[in-house]
Amino acid sequence: MPRILAGLYERFGLNAYIQGDPAKALLWFRRLERLEPDSIRTLRNLGVILLAAGDAAGAEEYLLREERRYGESFHRHSALADIAYARGRREDAARRYEAALSDPEAAPAGARRGDRAFLEARLRICLDPGAFAAAAEGAERFKAAEAARDSGDPRAALALFEEAVALDPTHWPALNNAGSIALNDLGDPARALALFKRSFALARSAQVARNVELAGAALAESPARGRRPAATQERKTE
């Protein structure tokens, strides 16, 4: 029975995450944690979900536990690189991105070869103090965009999300959130689709993939067919 429950908790948690509800996903994975506190699927998914919920310190704790228990890997290096990047640790992030790029999974014939362009772009930023400082400013614009969105000013939020991307071209959550506003608040599915596609080209996130589908469907259908599911957004990382 515990094994069956563990599988169900994982499935429900992943479904909630893909649907853009990290709080609900976290509840399911906390239940999984009680059954399997040290399994890869517990440690990895809690790390990813906590990062999506804005808890970078908590995410880092779980991913470091995973690395200590199971060793270094492409996933662990790339995820920990993203956390170091978000927390302003330029040299640590560069070291992790270099390690991820050196992993066989990221080789030209490797399973994660599609991630190389993003990792290389992040590494270039980390190796350039000026570019890294601009990216940090982009993170501040992202926070300001979230505040504008939450206060009910979607147009200002969209402009700020796009400013974040101008400062950090790898900031895929800003592209995703700009697309969500274009689709959900401004009723502009063509603009939303273009933004979502740019975001997916960087991150290949399941959430963004779903948003690409929603925007494509919205573009194809008549406005008279009723309300569509809302595109999901990413939260800031602290």
Model confidence at 238: pLDDT above 50: no
The mean pLDDT of the chain is: 93
Q: Regarding the domain with residue range 131-225, which homologous superfamily does it belong to in the CATH classification?
A: Tetratricopeptide repeat domain (1.25.40.10)
- Please state, in angstroms and rounded to a whole number, the distance separating the CA atoms of residues 176 and 200: 8
Let me know if the fold of 1-71 is the same as that of 131-225: yes
pLDDT band at 3 (very low <50, low <70, confident <90, very high): confident
**DSSP string for residues in the chain:** -HHHHHHHHHHHHHHHHHTT-HHHHHHHHHHHHHH-TT-HHHHHHHHHHHHHTT-HHHHHHHHHHHHHHH---HHHHHHHHHHHHHTT-HHHHHHHHHHHHHSGGGSTTSTTGGGHHHHHHHHHHHT-HHHHHHHHHHHHHHHHHHHHHHTT-HHHHHHHHHHHHHH-TT-HHHHHHHHHHHHHTS--HHHHHHHHHHHHHHH--HHHHHHHHHHHHHHHS-GGG-PPPPPP-PPP--
Q: pTM here?
A: 0.85
Q: What is the pLDDT of residues 98-140, one digit of tens each?
A: 999 999 999 999 999 999 999 999 999 999 999 999 999 999 9
| Cβ 196 vs Cβ 212: under 8 Å | yes
Q: What is the pLDDT of residues 51-77, one digit of tens each?
A: 888 899 999 999 999 999 999 999 999
- 1: CB partners within 8 A, 6+ apart: none
Model confidence at 21: pLDDT above 80: yes
Domain boundaries, the chain: 1-71, 80-127, 131-225
pLDDT of residue 18: 85
* Domain at 1-71: CATH architecture: Alpha Horseshoe (1.25)
